[in-house]
Structure 1
């Protein structure tokens, strides 16, 4: 919760889906702007409880995020996914996403 609260100071937002008054899927996202992407919405987190997968929650969240992005004048919708997440990649491709880049990171030690 502390990490979410900290991220909210920088524009991080949460959307979720529920069944029987219980959250079963959530998306954490933020909007930004860059030279290469223009105004964009970036999905930092997209999770569904394992017991609730393949019920349309992820697709519904992505559809909602796309509408939200368009409403807020975003030109693109982006997300990242680890190489090992093959099932997630197939899902994203079914939802119209294209794999267009590698993402690199480096852990910094103070």
Structure 2
């Protein structure tokens, strides 16, 4: 399969996972978490420098995903930009608490 076809299949899958998450599907949440936790934690680590704080920020990001899934639209087909944005906001919150 060509890389473009693999990416297209993944995008469809992300849309489907989000649709399922919006119906409170725990398996869909698990799949999204497994796909994106490491990248989300990496985003947080770049901002915070601490692995523990980065994991806290990433976990908080996925709590927001669970709570706000009905408000998410995927025009680009991937959840990662949304997750990265929320993660950066979580990092700011953690920094404020640490000051």
Higher strand fraction: Structure 1 or Structure 2?
Answer: 1
Where relative contact order (Cα < 8 A, 6+ residues apart) is larger, the structure is 2
- Normalising by the residue count of structure 1, what TM-score does the alignment of the two structures yield? 0.29
Higher helix fraction: Structure 1 or Structure 2?
Answer: 2
- Normalising by the residue count of structure 2, what TM-score does the alignment of the two structures yield? 0.32
